[in-house]
Amino acid sequence: MSEAEQGAGRVVIVTGGTRGMGRETAGYLARNGYRVVVNYAGNEAQANETVEEITAGGGTVVAKRADVADEVAVSAMFDEVEAEFGGVDVVVHAAGVMPVGPMVDFDLAQLDRLLNVNIRGTYVVNQQAAKRLRSGGAIINFSSSITRFSRPGYTAYAATKGAVQAMALILARELRGRDITVNVVAPGPIATPLFFEGKSQEVIDRISAEPPLGRLGEPDDVSGTVAFLAGPGRWINGQTLFINGGAI
C-alpha cells in the first residue's frame, strides 16, 4: 500500500501547521492523501498562504484558529473539524515557542510563556485528541533533540520539551484498548528558513558536520517519520524518536 493510499480519507489536525516543520508536515501529509486541518494561533495571512500552497498541490486543507493552551478554543476547533469532516484520525502537535537564553538571565515572563504554550498546550491538545480520535488513530507530538544535545542557553526550552516526552508512554498506556498510538518526534537541526536565520556560515557548517551522515536534516526526513507514525507504524507506541542523523 502506498503512502497516498494509507492516508486516503483520513483526517489530520496539525497544530502550528502554518509555519516551520508544522507547515512542512501538513504539506507532506496532504500530498499523501490526508485531509488536513492546519491550526494557527493568530497569523491569518500566513494561514491563508499555507492553504493556498497546499491546495495548489492538489491537497485538501482548511485552516482553523485556536490558541493551543486555551481548552475552550481547542475543543471548539475539534467540534468544527468533526462537523466538517466527520471525525479526526490523527493529531500532529507541532505548535510551540522557543525563546532562548542562559538561566541566570532568563526572563521569567518568557518562562511562563514557554510553560503555557509548550507544556499546557501539549496537554490541552492531547487531552482533546484522547477524547476524540477514532479507532486506529495516532497522536504525534513534537519535542526536540535539544533535550539530549544540552546546549547552553536552552535550559527552559529543553525542560518544556522533556515534559512533552514524559507524557507519551503514560498517555499511550491510559489509552489501552482504544487502538490509538501516542509518540513523539524529536528533530535535530533541520534545513528550514527558520534554522538558517541569523546564523553565520561557520555555525551552519559546524552544526552540519555533527551528524555522522554529515548534513543537516531535510524537512521530509521529519515529515516522512511523522507519516510513518500516523499510518503503518502501529507497533511503535509511547516512544520518542530522535531524528538527527545520529548526532547524539
Which segments within 95-180 are labelled E, that is strand? 138-142
- Catalytically annotated residue among 28, 34, 40, 157: 157
> What is the pTM assigned to this prediction?
0.94
Confidence check: pLDDT of 4 > 60: no
Span 73-132, pLDDT tens digits: 999 999 999 999 999 999 999 999 999 999 999 999 999 999 999 999 999 999 999 999
Task: List the grid coordinates of 149.
Answer: 544535545
Based on its alpha-carbon atoms, the radius of gyration of the chain, rounded to whole angstroms, reads 17
Q: What are phi and psi of 53, to 5 degrees?
A: -65, -45
pLDDT of residue 34: 98
Count the helix, strand and coil residues of the chain and give each as a percent rounded to the nearest 5: 50, 15, 35
User: 197 is written with which cell numbers?
Assistant: 536565520
pLDDT at 1 over 60: no
Query: What is the reported pLDDT for 5?
Result: 59
Nearby residues of 156 by Cβ (< 8 Å), 6 or more positions away: 99, 100, 101, 103, 106, 110, 111, 114
Q: Which has the closest alpha carbon to 82: 22, 141, 122, 133?
A: 133
pLDDT confidence band for 3 (50 / 70 / 90): low
Whether the predicted pLDDT of 151 surpasses 70: yes
- Given a contact cutoff of 8 angstroms between Cβ atoms, the answer to whether 226 and 14 are in contact is no
Band of the pLDDT at 2, cuts 50, 70, 90?
low
Domains identified in the chain and CATH numbers: 3-189+219-242 (3.40.50.720)
* pLDDT at site 10: 97
pLDDT at 196: 87
Residue 9 has phi, psi (to 5 degrees) of 85, -10
State the chain's mean pLDDT as an integer: 95
157 assigned to active site: yes
Distances (CA, A) of 202 to 22, 194, 196, 199: 27, 17, 11, 8
Tens digits of per-residue pLDDT, 188-233? 999 988 788 888 999 999 999 999 999 999 999 999 999 999 999 9
